[in-house]
Amino acid sequence: MFQELEGNQTRQYIDAEQTRKAWLAALTRSNSFRGSMYWQTKNGSDYLTREYSHSGIRQYQSLGVRSVETEHILNEFKKGRELSSQAVKSLTDEMQRHVRVNVAMRVGRTPSVVVNILESLRKSGIFEHFMVIGTNALYAYETCAGVRFSGDLTATTDMDLLCDSRKRLTLVSGSHDEAFKTGGLLAILKKVDATFSLVADEEYRAVNGKGYYVDLIKRRSKSLFDDKEPQQLIKNSDDFWAAKITNIDWILSAPKFRQVVVAENGNMAEMIAPDPRAFALYKTWLSQKDDRDPMKKPRDSRQAKAVIHLIDDRFPHLAFKDIHVFPSRINQMINSGD
């Protein structure tokens, strides 16, 4: 069901992933030096002033009258800003080199559109509120294990994004991206590919000019008569209306699995996916549902069995008995090998 990566591919992934981590840390440090710092004269005295933008609004902070201490603060700010700028440039160049090597050594095979969307979510400040579920999650598991699943298991032309609607207020207020605040998730997708548009009569999904679909999913409350959670991330008639899925709470309540994946074009992004045990349990349940599309049920079963095999072979520390959010009958399906 899977084959091991070559040693040089694994080493290249490790090096590239470490560089990406350093690059992100450098970006974070550089962001702390945004804005400017200068002397401002008031009533005959010089005051050190910090100017910066917060949520699109200019902010000013007085750091005190000119003194040895405030002179030191200004000098350290200038020095830190210069050093952080140099670090970002150097690591950006190194990242671009790794992208080229990733392609040359065929390190990645996650669809480029998936990685680009994940990076767009990260840059927009809303990444933590989404989880990749469905077939694309397999790329996270195989990358972590240093293997590749057979192509028929990972082949797909859509991406399922599960939004944790329990965090909706944090999602909106915490976003620093104006495109999301005004255009919602669709605006974020359009940054990746301007051809993305909502599908008529299926507003939970968007499709681009190449026929790649992105579906937005959220939980369905246990009581259908008391579901007051809105189906949109923001109020915008032109944005997604999430599809409400039964029992997706199992996935939301299970541990999360975080892994940096590599695209076919060499780019990298972090993916948040369900714990592989939760994936296997949910896929097993889907394969047994009476109302599941009969053409999808065999694939659900094969994917579940492939991940179970991967867990047994590469993640023996992950015990199914420790996943308590699924009904015991589903765990019994795993244990019995059904």
Is the distance from CB of 124 to CB of 29 less than 8 angstroms? no
Same domain, 201 and 139: yes
CA angle 72, 77, 81 (to 5 degrees): 150
Strands 268-274 and 256-262: antiparallel
Give pLDDT tens digits for 60-110: 999 999 999 999 999 999 999 999 999 999 999 999 999 999 999 999 999
Domain membership of residue 217 (yes or no) is yes
**At residue 287, does pLDDT exceed 70?**
yes
**What is d(CA 237, CA 194) in angstroms, rounded to the nearest whole number?**
18
- Residue 314: pLDDT band with limits 50, 70, 90: very high
Indicate whether 115 and 258 sit together in one domain: yes
* Pair 90, 150 in one domain: no
Both 160 and 98 in a single domain? no
Of 56, 87, 104, which one is at a domain's C-terminal end? Answer: 104
| pLDDT above 80 (res 168) | no
Mean of the pLDDT values across residues 265-274? Answer: 98
Q: What is the mean pLDDT of residues 113-138?
A: 95
**Does position 172 have pLDDT exceeding 70, yes or no?**
no
The answer to whether residues 57 and 131 belong to one domain is no
Q: Which of 251, 274, 297 is the last residue of a domain?
A: 274
Contact present, 283 and 301 (Cβ < 8 Å)? yes
Residues 58, 167 within the same domain: no
Same domain, 37 and 115: no
148 and 65 within one domain: no
63 inside domain: yes
Q: Which domain holds residue 244?
A: 110-274
Most trustworthy range by pLDDT among 178-182, 262-266, 289-293, 324-328: 262-266
138 and 173 inside one domain: yes
Helices 137-145 and 276-288, interaxial angle, to 10°?
A: 140
Q: Is residue 289 part of a domain?
A: no
Of the three residues 218, 247, 274, the one that is the final residue of a domain is: 274
For residue 308, tell me if it sits in a domain. Answer: no
In a shared domain, residues 99 and 114 = no
Per-residue pLDDT reduced to its tens digit, 191-226: 999 999 999 999 999 999 999 999 999 987 665 554
In this prediction, residues 165-185 reach a mean pLDDT of: 68
> Can you tell me the mean pLDDT for 169-184?
67
What mean pLDDT comes out for the span 151-172? 80
Residue 43, pLDDT > 70, answer yes
The answer on pLDDT for 257 being more than 50 is: yes
Shared domain check, 236 and 153: yes
Confidence (pLDDT) at 338 = 47
Same domain, 188 and 254: yes
Domain count, the chain: 2
Q: Judge whether 147 lies within some domain.
A: yes
- Domain annotation covers residue 284: no
Per-residue pLDDT band for 173 (boundaries 50, 70, 90) equals: very low
Q: Confidence class of residue 169 from pLDDT cuts 50, 70 and 90?
A: very low
Asked if residue 283 belongs to a domain, the reply is no
CA separation for the pair 58, 95 (Å, rounded): 33
Write down the mean pLDDT value for the chain: 91
Is 184 inside any structural domain?
yes
In the structure, what pLDDT confidence band is assigned to residue 178 with cuts at 50, 70 and 90?
confident
